[in-house]
């Protein structure tokens, strides 16, 4: 380990140490509790700044970590998501009297796990990063330890997650048996030298790896945990859970796909991904229509959105990967905007977050309602929002790669999804207020997060060139 190695992972170190400090501060300086959230956000912001100051072209820790434009892009949306989630959590935890340092410590550790996982070339480091991320999230999901639904969420997530981890590990072992290496860089070299063959062993290994990751992505048929966990977890955690692990896992999948050269070595990979994408989009959108609880609806919407993102991976290449990355940046903004508002529109955590609770709020709480509406239109993919740009890019890549039917399935799914997203707007603005007006708090941090995300959603929708430029540079780091 050289000083160069340590310098390159300074952002991750900052997060891990910052998290540790917060956990210790809980013990030794509990009077500072009010500042924990802001401190966590500041630590993440510091890590983000560090990541952008450091050079992004190094291979460190014996080539286990690859710090390139792709890593920087993923770090950026992971950290942005963490900052936003921490800000949403401040008033939320105050209200539920759970404002403990451990919460923010785990938040930062989860981010570190996701960041490590997304920038490694080594299967075992992927696994370590994934576990750091997952274990932090298991605890965070169950953070309302007096609430039954929260405990249930944490427990379910843990059981399913452990199961998925085992499957993933099994797949990694099989792939190791077939390739003789844990390193994706070496796999790439072997594939280029035509030393790899699509043996049953390798295919089984890849299938298990895909299945393991599919649990984390919550795509069909490995999605069943998502609605319960989304619903039960504290809302800021749900916000984080819905973007960070999925974003990191997709990048790992992209790295694997790039290494195993899907089109030549393993053509079976593409139909498998396409089938998962179609099933996720269709089932996610159809079932979301039937939901009455906002968080559950967003869970199914998330299942569908992972389907759209997978379309970009099916159409693998620079265009497809850039599309997926823009998709994730977009998804982060619109999903966190939605969950921030959901966190505000509830009186107590034990109650379901019913759609009907939104009735008439559009005219009562204009800022939050407007932000939620913009998030919904963006999730539905209606221009001029970044959700539309992202879908456009993904479908463009699909058509460019000859997957016209997949793009058609995708747009038809957008039509289905418009129904339930627009219904949220309908409740906000077109339903009368109930007789007993709900007592919603509207703290300024949530307003800030929601309005900021909404501004980002529209801003990147109108002027997407910069974001796409970043994503293309990041994609070029992986696919030349």
- By the 8 A CB rule, do 179 and 191 touch? no
Between 235 and 389, name the residue whose CB sits nearer to another protein. Answer: 389
**CA nearest neighbour of 374 among 411, 336, 345, 416:** 336
Between 126 and 398, name the residue whose CB sits nearer to another protein. Answer: 398
- By the 8 A CB rule, do 226 and 214 touch? no
Beta strands in 38-85 (DSSP E): 58-60, 65-67
Between 77 and 377, name the residue whose CB sits nearer to another protein. Answer: 377
Between 227 and 381, name the residue whose CB sits nearer to another protein. Answer: 381
Between 353 and 423, name the residue whose CB sits nearer to another protein. Answer: 423
Kindly list the residues in this chain that would bind another protein in the complex (CB under 8 A): 363, 377, 382-384, 388, 392-393, 395-396, 399-400, 404, 407-408, 411-412, 414-415, 418-419, 422-423, 425-426, 429-430, 464-465, 468-469, 472
Task: Annotate 422-459 with DSSP letters as a single string.
Answer: HHHHHHHHHSPPPSS-------HHHHHHHHHHHHHHHH
CB of 63 to another protein, least distance (A): 31
DSSP 290: T
3-state secondary structure of 149: helix
CB of 218 to another protein, least distance (A): 25
Between 33 and 396, name the residue whose CB sits nearer to another protein. Answer: 396
196 preceded by cis ω (within 30°)? no
CB of 407 to another protein, least distance (A): 6
Question: How far does Cα 150 stand from its chain's mean position?
Answer: 20
End-to-end CA separation in angstroms for the chain: 30
3-state secondary structure of 222: coil
For residue 355, the tally of other CB atoms under 10 A from its CB is 20
DSSP strand pairing (58-60 vs 65-67) = antiparallel
CB of 415 to another protein, least distance (A): 5
CB of 449 to another protein, least distance (A): 18
CB of 472 to another protein, least distance (A): 6
CB of 56 to another protein, least distance (A): 20
Between 15 and 468, name the residue whose CB sits nearer to another protein. Answer: 468
Question: How far does Cα 174 stand from its chain's mean position?
Answer: 27
């Amino acid at each position: 380990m050289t000083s160069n190695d340590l310098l390159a992972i300074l952002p991750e170190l900052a997060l891990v140490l910052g998290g540790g400090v917060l956990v210790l501060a809980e013990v030794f300086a509990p009077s500072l509790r009010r500042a924990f959230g802001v401190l966590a956000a500041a630590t993440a912001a510091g890590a983000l700044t560090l990541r952008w100051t450091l050079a992004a072209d190094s291979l460190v820790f014996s080539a286990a970590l690859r710090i390139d434009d792709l890593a920087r892009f993923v770090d950026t949306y992971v950290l942005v998501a963490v900052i936003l989630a921490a800000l949403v959590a401040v008033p939320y935890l105050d209200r539920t009297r759970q404002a403990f340092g451990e919460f923010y410590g785990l938040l930062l550790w989860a981010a570190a796990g996701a960041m490590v996982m997304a920038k490694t070339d080594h299967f075992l480091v992927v696994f370590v990063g994934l576990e750091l991320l997952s274990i932090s999230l298991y605890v965070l999901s169950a953070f309302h330890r007096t609430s039954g639904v929260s405990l249930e969420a944490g427990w379910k997530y843990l059981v399913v997650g452990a199961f998925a981890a085992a499957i993933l590990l099994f797949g990694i072992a099989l792939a190791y048996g077939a390739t003789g290496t844990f390193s994706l860089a070496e796999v790439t070299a072997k594939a280029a030298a035509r030393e790899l063959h699509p043996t049953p062993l390798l295919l089984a290994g890849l299938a298990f790896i895909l299945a393991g990751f599919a649990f984390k992505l919550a795509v069909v048929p490995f999605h069943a945990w998502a609605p319960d966990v989304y619903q039960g977890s504290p809302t800021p955690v749900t916000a984080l859970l819905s973007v960070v692990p999925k974003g990191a896992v997709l990048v790992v999948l992209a790295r694997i796909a790039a290494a195993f050269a899907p089109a030549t070595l393993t053509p079976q990979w593409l139909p498998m991904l396409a089938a998962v994408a179609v099933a996720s989009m269709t089932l996610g959108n159809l079932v979301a229509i039937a939901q009455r609880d906002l968080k559950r609806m967003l869970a199914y919407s998330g299942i569908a959105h992972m389907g759209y993102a997978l379309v970009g991976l099916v159409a693998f290449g620079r265009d497809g990967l850039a599309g997926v990355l823009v998709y994730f940046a977009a998804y982060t903004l619109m999903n966190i905007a939605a969950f921030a508002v959901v966190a505000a529109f509830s009186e107590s955590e034990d109650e379901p977050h019913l759609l009907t609770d939104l009735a008439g709020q559009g005219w009562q709480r204009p800022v939050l309602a407007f932000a939620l509406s913009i998030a919904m239109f963006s999730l539905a993919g209606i221009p001029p929002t970044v959700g539309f740009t992202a879908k456009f890019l993904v479908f463009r890549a699909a058509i460019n790669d000859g997957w016209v039917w997949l793009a058609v399935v995708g747009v038809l799914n957008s039509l289905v999804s418009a129904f339930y997203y627009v219904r949220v707007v309908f409740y906000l603005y077109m339903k009368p207020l109930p007789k007993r007006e709900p007592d919603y708090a509207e703290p300024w941090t949530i307003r800030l997060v929601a309005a900021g995300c909404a501004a980002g959603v529209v801003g990147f929708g109108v002027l997407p060139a910069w974001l796409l430029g970043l994503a293309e540079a990041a994609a070029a780091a992986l696919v030349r």
